[in-house]
Amino acid sequence: MTTKQRFESVLDWFAVNMPIAESELHYANPFQLLVAVVLSAQCTDKRVNMVTPALFAAYPTAEALSKASVQEVLEYIHSVSYPNAKAAHLVSMAQRLVAVYGGQVPDNIDDLQTLPGVGRKTANVVCAVIWNQPTMAVDTHIFRVSERIGLTTNSKNPLQTEKQLVKYIPQDLIPKAHHWLLLHGRYICQARKPKCESCGIQPYCRYNKTSAAS
């Protein structure tokens, strides 16, 4: 099976069996999504969704958050991973949003990455989810799953994975493909013990030694 054939087979399966694939983070606007994604770094979406309702109620806009102290924000997010650093990033990010972008979340990767606490992955998520742009955010799930399945080969870092994925995934499918791979890694192709027996893409998977791809 060629790489192109594997991509086509995997994407076709997801399109039929997971037609709706969306972020599991709760948000109501671009600003809230940006904050939630920053908080989600090395933290579960479930935990982030537990802290954001109160945080968003207290700071509904970039302007409001920009006036908060780091300690005040920390009180809302202390249960997430790396709360001190994230609290500082959120305040600084809001201040830059107000000062440079009029309180509005930028709609491109380059500008987003100028915000404190926002790396390429976060920028890609925001562009894909909010503006449906063909940006592929690579988190730990996607990095692992792509290599395990055989969509990528010898990828050493998230950027290499991103480049290999966007080479073969049609642009209009990239935003949804991000969620397909992420959710598959979160619930089926798990790190320690992948659930191969209940995996629909098993016939196309490089990892499964008994599959047609082996």
pLDDT at 125 over 70: yes
Report which residue type is found at 4.
Answer: K
Residue found under tokens 């948000």:
27
**Tokens found for residue 10:** 């995997």
* pLDDT tens-digit map of 178-205: 999 999 999 999 989 999 999 999 999 9
Round to whole Å and give the CA distance between 116 and 120.
12
**Tokens found for residue 198:** 């209940």
* pLDDT tens-digit map of 75-108: 999 999 999 999 999 999 999 999 999 999 999 9
Strands (E), 61-182: none
> Among 32-41, 109-118, 165-174, 205-214, which stretch is predicted with the lowest mean pLDDT?
205-214
pLDDT band at 212 (very low <50, low <70, confident <90, very high): very low
> Residue 116: which residues within 8 A CB-CB, separation 6 or more?
88, 89, 92, 93, 96
pLDDT at 209 over 70: no
User: What residues act catalytically?
Assistant: 121, 139
Round to whole Å and give the CA distance between 110 and 201.
35
Q: What average pLDDT does this structure show over 135-146?
A: 93
Q: What does each C-alpha distance from 136 to 25, 81, 157, 184 come to in angstroms? A: 17, 24, 14, 15
